[in-house]
Structure 1
């Protein structure tokens, strides 16, 4: 990601973390973990993790400086013991790696001391399969950040992001290939040192770091409460998964024809829950219909089933008085519009992903809830039908084409953007919509 102009300097590291949050949010979707480089990256990362509702920990990396000139970094050592040298810089100065042996050993000892001080007996956080955001207060040469990224990459994260408020342009260029995404708020041409770009760049002690880590530990929210549910819809029963966050601000029904157990749908539901929404993941096609390979369950029938699910959510859960949104995908897309038309006092906003929304034609004129249409591709015929349907709705609508989103259930990564767009739409339109 390219740097964008921002107002500098930052007030302090916490403000820098707050300003990073919106730029990082689209990349911190799957069970996100913020990993801060001590010491300066810790207050930045703590604020970022708070705003993203992500897990937070430190990533132990130490710069290797020249003997007698420790501020001049020529390498870095990571917690796993791996050492990365800036061989170009060493070659320019005609310094062999062997000349740094004592410095490397000293930094290993300091790294272990800090690891014990900051983490104690607490195990290192799980990285595999998660969106990991490595954070520092700035990047001058890039050596420390490179070592940190190499260390995290070895643990096989789902996505690896480097996020820093300010960096030297040369460092940005050299680090671009090291992470899946690079978020840098500013890379000034006149960059000399990280501290120049903060009004308050006070030195941090080990005590500051451990206090921030302890505070984050105390602030960690209680676990979500999840359970499988069966909802009666006329003569049929629908299978679903209901998860209630501890701090509830609304509820979202994620309706699919079938396939609610797909990891990507569960990840999208997780994004919504981290923002305070209860989620009901629901298959609108029954188990019996799936077993019989039934096809062509009509929009009206699916709409009635989704209507029954919203009624159940209102009556049988703590979401009775909370605003409700509906995300309908595929064949459940037009059903979501039918339900919005039938339940205007209950459904506060709708997102439709894929599907033929024109199939909800009889109900469109009664849809007053705000509707976001996410198209799977730029196919002109599908878009024409969607625009036609939008024009018949009574409430505000928007339409976005998600490039590559047809791969959502085929192993692609585009579901991340679907999750972000969905959360943004519900955040904008569900506030105050509850009865």
Structure 2
């Protein structure tokens, strides 16, 4: 399967956000990644998941939601990584860019959020219901999406490690808000970062199935 890749700078409001795009020939959809607090588009876990999605016929967009200057500030203060409203607004802007520029073609868009990035993904999905066709959260904090949770109309899969008890409880609360569009699946033997052998592979496989099922015309 031929693959295409490019590094781009995506304009969102007054920011230029660096991103890595990869897509196979004739992708069935494209998945935009929202990384967790203190991470970046080079996150080994998200890169590994993205590679599995590429093999499943999906395009992927790994993007830094903070500019380099903002990243320097956040490294000292840790304040921007929890600004869910700002991060969600930028994700929504990238969704708009993908819909307009169509770097992988005119295909459905999904969002994959990790940790606090899951909250930003859900807020963005609530504001772009006509453009975002599926959401997957990995070890996410969907509870941080607040009132936007009840507004989500997009099929959403919540994946949580079986040993991540506090986050399981938070995801159960979020699931009640999501209602019938949400599903919660627990990965046995996994902690918050899915560092145990085979657990991240399970996340990637389940995410791939969710996206290929829901990113359809």
Match for residue 207 of structure 2 among 419, 422, 425: 422
What is the count of residue pairs matched by the alignment? 210
Cα distance per residue 1:47-68 (max 9 Å; x no partner) = xxxxxxxxxxxxxxxxxxxxxx
- TM superposition outliers: structure 1 runs of 4+ over 4 Å: 410-413
Aligned-partner Cα distance in 1 for 2:103–2:46: 23
Match for residue 63 of structure 2 among 282, 289, 295: 282
The corresponding residue for 1:238 is 17
Matches within 5 A, 1:210-289: 221-222=1-2, 224-257=3-36, 258-289=39-70
Using the TM superposition, give the Cα deviation of residue 265 of structure 1 relative to its aligned residue in structure 2, in angstroms.
Answer: 2.3
Q: Give the secondary-structure state (helix, strand or coil) at the position aligned to 1:237.
A: strand
The corresponding residue for 2:184 is 399
Q: Which TM-score applies when normalising by structure 2?
A: 0.88
Aligned-partner Cα distance in 2 for 1:326–1:275: 16
Using the TM superposition, give the Cα deviation of residue 413 of structure 1 relative to its aligned residue in structure 2, in angstroms.
Answer: 4.4
Matches within 5 A, 1:6-405: 221-222=1-2, 224-257=3-36, 258-292=39-73, 293=75, 294-297=77-80, 298-319=83-104, 321-393=106-178, 395-402=180-187, 403-405=189-191
Q: Give the secondary-structure state (helix, strand or coil) at the position aligned to 2:177.
A: coil
Q: What residue ranges of structure 1 are gaps of 5+ in the alignment?
A: 1-220
Aligned-partner Cα distance in 2 for 1:404–1:379: 7
Using the TM superposition, give the Cα deviation of residue 295 of structure 1 relative to its aligned residue in structure 2, in angstroms.
Answer: 1.3
> Contact 1:225–1:244 (CA<8 Å) still a contact in 2?
yes
Instruction: Work out which of the two has the higher radius of gyration on C-alpha atoms and give 1 or 2.
Output: 1
Q: What residue ranges of structure 2 are gaps of 5+ in the alignment?
A: none
Aligned-partner Cα distance in 2 for 1:242–1:400: 28
> Contact 1:364–1:394 (CA<8 Å) still a contact in 2?
no
The 1:406–1:384 alpha-carbon spacing in structure 2 relative to 1, beyond 3 Å, is closer
Higher helix share: 2
Aligned-partner Cα distance in 1 for 2:66–2:103: 26
Aligned-partner Cα distance in 2 for 1:397–1:378: 21
The 1:262–1:380 alpha-carbon spacing in structure 2 relative to 1, beyond 3 Å, is closer
Q: Which TM-score applies when normalising by structure 1?
A: 0.45
> Contact 1:229–1:241 (CA<8 Å) still a contact in 2?
yes
Aligned-partner Cα distance in 1 for 2:52–2:178: 28
The 1:370–1:277 alpha-carbon spacing in structure 2 relative to 1, beyond 3 Å, is same
The 1:319–1:226 alpha-carbon spacing in structure 2 relative to 1, beyond 3 Å, is closer
> Contact 1:369–1:395 (CA<8 Å) still a contact in 2?
no
The 1:317–1:382 alpha-carbon spacing in structure 2 relative to 1, beyond 3 Å, is same
